[in-house]
Amino acid sequence: MARKRTLSAATFRRGINLWPPFLFAGIKVLAVDDAFRSAKVRLRLGRLNRNWVGTHFGGSIFAMTDPFWMLLVMQNLGPDYYVWDSAAEIDFVSPGRGDITAEFVLTDERLAEIRELTADGSKALVWFDTEVLAQDGSVVARVRKQVYVRPKPERARPETTGRTGQDERGGRPEPVATAV
């Protein structure tokens, strides 16, 4: 069950566009759908993100794809799951000249797969693939992100007997002053 969102997709998009690693690298989140099921990101080629040969710096290409799979999965699974980035791979296919974009789409099938893999309480390491595209549709880079997902353990109710070191309400006992 997904948690109630306290942050709208539009507010998230505006906020992440002001985040210094995106702002100063020329990365702009163009869209995040209201259900946090998809996002589209653009990287403009500028003086601050060019490499020595005048094309997109590889670190900026990777940065534009970095947080999105984790965030989309986290927003859709809700607070009952731990969700972390675990690993990443990037293959640079062709030089990035001009604006480049990446799109992320989290499907019902992928969410169902994750829930099934973690139904018994174990972790899942799930890979997601993204192509970074030039304006003409050619592939600039292929990025793979591995996301770690595990359900949070249910909090067991404490015993209410004196042997547990807890009072009848299940809390910690009051400290007792002792003479030395």
Any domain includes 171: no
pTM recorded for the entire structure: 0.79
Q: Where are the alpha helices (DSSP H) in 40-107?
A: 58-65, 68-77
Are the C-beta atoms of 101 and 26 separated by less than 8 Å? Answer: no
Any domain includes 58: yes
Residue 67 belongs to domain with CATH number:
3.10.129.10
Buried-exposed string 18-30: b where 16+ CB fall within 10 A, e elsewhere? eeeebeebbbbbe
Distance CA 174, CA 129 (A): 54
Q: How many domains does the chain have?
A: 1
Are the C-beta atoms of 96 and 132 separated by less than 8 Å? Answer: yes
Any domain includes 32: yes
Any domain includes 90: yes
* Residue in the structure block whose two tokens are 């505006």: 14
56 lies in which domain range? 9-153
**Long-range pairs for 12-16 at CB < 8 Å and ≥24 separation?**
12/36, 16/67
Looking at the DSSP bridge assignments, the partners of residue 88 are 145
Are the C-beta atoms of 122 and 73 separated by less than 8 Å? Answer: no
Per-residue pLDDT of the chain (180 residues; tens, 9 = 90+): 555 556 789 999 999 999 998 988 899 999 999 999 999 999 998 887 888 888 888 899 999 999 999 999 999 999 999 999 999 999 999 998 899 999 999 999 999 999 999 999 999 999 999 999 999 999 999 999 999 999 998 743 344 334 444 434 344 444 444 444
